[in-house]
Amino acid sequence: MTQLFQYEDDREVSSAAKVRALEALLIEKGVIGSDSVDAVLQHFETVAGPFNGAKIVARAWVDPAFKQRLVEDTPKAIAELDLSAGMAGAEGEHMAAVANGDGVHNLIICTLCSCYPWPVLGLPPYWYKDPVFRARGVREPRAVLREFGVEVPAETAVKVWDSSAQIRWFVVPERPANTDRLSEQELAALVTPESMMGVALVASPAAA
């Protein structure tokens, strides 16, 4: 993350500490059990998370027909993959994918709240919910992307997509160079949540 958003790292650490303290207090008071917390954590570690999004992106990279279906009818295309358990819940409904390429770079924000497709991107980072990021993402997306290290050429259009409870967007980033010989599983390992939000590019294996 770039220096502009560096202060969010400290706030995210502080927020995580508060969450742990609250969790410990709720367990101590008997409001929740440690087994409930473990079940939630295990769900996001093994069932719903950015590994699902990475599988979707990798399939789109190796199968142009699937990619076309994905951007035309995202839920229907995702249903073709064995991800049904991870797609359950409100956060997995009404998803839509947009693809980078052909002179277009996509950026995902949520101006009103923090709507986020958890099943494919995992838990949202703190800075995604910050009013500064949300406001500037609309007003000056190129500047925001530059501060994240993504320099978008002048001839490339930047499209900003606003997630909501009615539709939750994610990005199919461009496939990096020098990956022709990689398997679908190896390609999925290159995909990051940030690239599926549009604030990062997928690095080629050599660069990584």
Tell me the two tokens of residue 148.
């994240």
By the 8 A CB rule, do 173 and 191 touch? yes
| Identity of residue 19 | V
Tell me the two tokens of residue 33.
């059990």
Q: Is 146 exposed, middle or buried (0-12, 13-18, 19+ CB in 10 A)?
A: middle
Is 84 annotated among the ligand-binding residues? no
Is 195 annotated among the ligand-binding residues? no
Q: How far apart are CA 208 and CA 202, in angstroms?
A: 9
Is 164 annotated among the ligand-binding residues? no
Q: How far apart are CA 10 and CA 21, in angstroms?
A: 17
By the 8 A CB rule, do 5 and 127 touch? yes
Could you list the active site residues?
110, 113-115
Binding site for Fe(3+): residue ranges?
110, 113-115
Please enumerate, by residue number, every residue annotated as part of a binding site: 110, 113-115
